[in-house]
A and B are shown apart, each in its own frame.
Chain A
Amino acid sequence: MGFKFKGEGASTRGRAFLTFSPRSFLPAIPFLLIFGYFFLFPISRLIYVAFLSNENTLTFSNFVTAFQEPYRTGFINSIRIGLFSAGITAIPGAIAAYFIETRGPSKLRRTIAVMSGVLANTGGVPLAFMFTAAIGLQGQLTKALKAAGWDIYSGHFSLGTFTGLLIVYLYFQLPLMVIVFSPAIVSLRTEWIEAARNLGANQFNYWIRIGVPLLFPSFIASFLLLFASGFSAYATANALTVGNLPLTPLQIGGLLDGNVSAQQLNLGKALGVVMILISAMAVVPYLVIQRRAAKWQQR
């Protein structure tokens, strides 16, 4: 009812065009104001300031520095930890979601949904504690493995290294995969298995021809979301590393706190803008795929 189209016979000029009546957007104003001020405004300002030099003239120099060392390594490490942590957890998470959703009783499914929700949001100091207690130098699992003849600390391993952090990230990535992939599993209908069976398909045929092709887009979407989550995680990395592992979120945090000084005052903003671009390359396809998949997932 927002746009009114007045067709032929309209004598005044304006009426021949779409008109925008205030009733069509007025009720959205509180939302738009709050969202605009607390989200769109800071993000736009971030992007604008990223192009400013110390003397407030427009420049690309912040971005030039953002792609030089040590920030280059920061991006490479962040992208790698996002890809690896998503790559390692995507398939096990998808399989776990499948067994839980198709075979678990209702109460179990709901308990696991809640648990995944809590675990996917663990991070920072609590998560760092758990892993230090398990596979830290004095950790329980470290001791158990040592007793069994495998000293995980004989090499270069420590929780603050890339490998250490990667292991810790799996702890919130796996539940996240279960959360984002479960809706796709739930919407696989038993009728499809039955129909395939009636047409002579065995289990293998069903999966190759129907199951996997249907789930694949959702799987890729989930992987992309996991990548974005691992790529931009800050709290856990901050708790476990002591400046020895260059990661973009930590570098931005350091510049913001003034712990690290840079010649260019707005370097941190440029790093933030590059992070947004990389994150968008994963999250936007995720949203697009989810939207398309939602069409057949609705019951």
Chain B
Amino acid sequence: MKRRIDIPLVATLSVLGFFVFIPMLSAFEFSIRTPLKGGYGWDQYIWAVTEEDFMHYILRSGWLAAVTVVITLLILVPTLTWLHLSQSKIRPLIDGLSLLPLVIPVVAFAVGAQISFPEFMQNTVLELPFLYFVLALPYAYRSLDIGLSSIPLKTLTEAARSTGANWLKTITAVIIPVIRGAVMATVALTFALSLGEYTLTVLLHWDTFPTWVTYVAQENLLGAIAISMMSLIIPFLVLTGLTLLAPERSAQRRK
């Protein structure tokens, strides 16, 4: 491994690094301050994780995100599999529809959602996963679409069907394992988007982890900064770990 120092690359990374890390480290410095004792410590982090609401909202955001992921996979995997196999004439229509949420600003979508759904739906937090599904749709759809395009889908399904698998079995035991890279990417993306969604959630008056931080900020600013740092660093570490462990994307794409 001999590598000469690549000056343009190092310069780019340094500039980006300053831009990214100065605000982050500044906030981090605030979050480890201990104003009462002076000096530094992990007090705010300990305060945050022992706070009763912390776990409550993490779990709530977590299961909402999990439900979103389930809805996304349940709807998109069979639909896309069918679209790829049948060469249906309505495929361009569905491709186009899946991109539409990109066009609509989330604020406008929130107003629409508020005036459209019947009361019993607006009263259950379960409306959120369906709306998150819509927000994640352009990315989730594309990711699964690319995954399905890169495999010999017809051969695989014909093989599975002729050896006696029904459609459910074909999808769960053959298709999903073969495109697991794309499925994992979709899961990660949908999960992260749902976990961090703020605008729609707050405008529809729901409380989740991201909106809870706003309330904390009014009582304990340093604690809220600590929580914000965690909400930024933990997903980053988890996702980096996952991508570095996962197989190379290029290897998977090759037919």
Contact = CB atoms under 8 A, between A and B. Distances in A.
A46 B111 contact: yes
Nearest to B221: A129
Contacts of A117: 192, 239
Contacts of B30: 129, 133
Interface in B195-228: 196, 198-199, 202-203, 210, 213-214, 217, 224-225, 228
B26 A38 contact: no
A140 interface: yes
Given A103-B9, A111-B240, A134-B26, A126 B111 contact: no
B8 to A, nearest CB: 5
Contacts of A118: 192, 232, 235-236, 239
Contacts of A49: 115
Residue from A39, A96, A140, A228 whose CB has the most chain B CB atoms within 10 Å: A39
A130 B240 CA distance: 21
Interface in A210-238: 228, 231-232, 234-235, 238
Interface string B88-107: 11100010011111111111
Summarize A's interface: helix, strand, loop or mixed.
Answer: helix
B27 A24 contact: no
Interface in A116-140: 117-119, 121-126, 129-135, 139-140
Interface stretch (B35-43, B56-64, B131-139, B151-159): B131-139
Given A34-B133, A103-B8, A126 B213 contact: yes
Nearest to B250: A106
Interface string A242-262: 000000110011001100000
Contact of A235 (B27, B82, B198, B217): B198
A297 B205 CA distance: 43
Assign chain B's interface to a size class: 35 or more
Contacts of B116: 41-42, 45-46
A1 B87 contact: yes
A201 interface: no
A234 B199 contact: yes
B6 interface: yes
Given A35-B134, A125-B228, A111 B107 contact: no
A124 B90 CA distance: 39
Contacts of B107: 232, 234, 248-249, 252-253, 272, 275
A-B pairs, top 6 by smallest CB distance, nearest first, are A42-B112, A232-B105, A126-B228, A46-B112, A272-B108, A130-B23
22 contacts: A1-B88, A27-B79, A35-B134, A38-B133, A39-B134, A41-B116, A46-B115, A92-B15, A117-B192, A124-B198, A125-B213, A125-B228, A130-B26, A134-B27, A174-B16, A232-B105, A234-B106, A238-B202, A256-B203, A269-B115, A276-B108, A279-B103
